[in-house]
Chain A
Amino acid sequence: MQDVTVMLYSLIGFMIIGSIVAIETRDLLSSVICVGAVGFALSVINLLLGAPDLALTLVVVEVLTLVVLIRAIRTRRDTYHATSRDTLAIGVVVAGLCFVFTVAYFLLDKLPAFGKPLMLMSEPYLRSGLESNSAVNYVTSILLDFRAYDTLGEATVIFTAIVGAYAVLRKVGRKREAAGNESDR
């Protein structure tokens, strides 16, 4: 148990460093790769905490995100320009962080300990899952039977996002095509 905690803290530190590098670096490609590294570390954390479904999904989504992002930034040659740091902005950020940490210090005492959640909601599912639908993987059983409406909403969200991406990308492609062969039109 102690090994898991040590690995968790080191992975969280790696994620924090990766996020800071992703924000601060000038090169857009390095930034994208740092975001991918943070995602992979999060996937390893999920695996350590005993959520193989989530870890698997996160790994494949990270790979896909990396491919799409690199594909998208390949033509854009402009790199990220760092904004100028003035003292007012830094002061506001520091004040906000102090406020958040102060509130969190008093609030986090009230939460249950890490790794020991209150198993109130999941108890009925775990008890009645197998005779309710005889699916052995309880995650899928909850996603597609007990919480199927949520999954329908998720599918709707993905569908809407993809249709929007199609609309935007095809319009740009058609414009380029029309500019390419004007004699056709």
Chain B
Amino acid sequence: MKQPGMSLIVKTVTRLITGFIMIFGLYLVIYGHITPGGGFSGGVVISLALILTLLAFGKEFIDAHALIGDNGMEAVDVFGAFAFLVIALLGYFAGAFFSNRIIGHGEPFHLFSGGIIPFCNLAIGLKVGACLFGVLVALAVFHTQRRHDPSEPREEG
């Protein structure tokens, strides 16, 4: 095993297209209330961009960046779920949970429209993207743990 990850061709192509995939996923999340898409599919596209990076560059690339590691993804996952719940509970001030009257609706066909729907999309996109990528990171940890012993001791939990 001379070099982590796949060959140079795969790495170059990954460098070129990962940004576009990520931008497409963000577009699906942010414009989910105007065009087809939404939080779930956009989140899956974002996680696929990260998975492409993981497959091309190997587990060592994930270890070098703390945010896209195992624990960081779990934190983002929990944050997204919590944000969705907070948006649901904020509707209580307007009468009912998930009420769409806490902020204005805006003009149809504009980006700032739909009330709480864009924020719900953002929360679900964060949650889905983080958790689906985190599972693959956990699988990668499960695969590589036996031949690659980390120097720092992992915290208990």
Contact = CB atoms under 8 A, between A and B. Distances in A.
A68 interface: yes
Contacts, number: 156
A159 B81 contact: yes
Contacts of B34: 135-137
A158 B88 contact: no
Contact of B131 (A56, A136, A141, A159): A159
Q: Is the interface of B mostly helix, strand, loop or mixed?
A: helix
Contact of A56 (B36, B98, B116): B36
B94 interface: no
Interface of B: 28, 32-41, 44-45, 47-48, 51, 55, 70, 74, 77, 81, 84-85, 88, 97-98, 100, 105-109, 113-117, 120-121, 124, 127-128, 131-132, 134-136, 138-143, 145-147, 149-150, 153-154
Given A72-B139, A177-B145, 4 more contacts: A57-B38, A57-B44, A152-B88, A174-B145
Interface of A: 52-53, 56-57, 60-61, 63-64, 67-68, 71-72, 75, 130, 132-137, 139-141, 143-145, 148-149, 151-152, 155, 158-159, 162, 165-166, 169-170, 172-174, 176-177, 179-181, 184
30 contacts: A53-B37, A56-B37, A57-B38, A60-B41, A60-B45, A60-B48, A64-B47, A64-B48, A67-B51, A132-B100, A133-B115, A134-B114, A134-B115, A135-B115, A140-B32, A140-B121, A144-B38, A145-B98, A148-B88, A148-B120, A151-B120, A152-B85, A155-B127, A159-B131, A165-B138, A166-B134, A170-B141, A173-B142, A174-B154, A176-B142
